[in-house]
Structure 1
Amino acid sequence: MNFTLECEREDEGRWLADVPQLPGVLACGALQAEAMARAEVLALRVLADRLEHGEAQPTDIRISLTAA
């Protein structure tokens, strides 16, 4: 399973990172690395929750990074 972690800077300076394949996985931070780390952690939590509730099957996970 492949996921893309996208990150972009807003006009006021904060960074937003999201995983488009997982609706609701969106995080922000003062630094790009902070926003990306938060989004990655949230994505892993969402996937773990899906596995625990039988909504997904165990599979290899790959996350690629895209910065705008």
Structure 2
Amino acid sequence: MNSPHVLKIENDLRVLSLEELEWLLERIAKQVQERKQIVNKFTDVKYMNEQLAAMAIDLDIKTEITTINNEFSITEMNGLQKL
């Protein structure tokens, strides 16, 4: 994991004050936790199913789907046949 980019960052860290390093460390820890949560949410099938179920009953989403279907209904009648 010692890519040239990471090594440059490590060298750049040497010029920071202790306060700046602590601040940066907190920011990095926060970003790591946020990324872990995102990864966990998308790999959690139960969570995804809950989100899909919520979307299925959401009136705004239903309205948008109806609008999209109405917009494309003319195109569907434009000589394309269902298989």
> For this structure pair, what is the TM-score category when the shorter chain's length is used for normalisation?
0.3 to 0.5
More helix as a share of residues = 2
* Bigger relative contact order, structure 1 or 2 (CA pairs below 8 A, ≥6 apart): 1
Q: Give the TM-score taking structure 2 as reference length.
A: 0.31
TM-score by length of 1: 0.37
Which structure carries more strand by proportion? 1
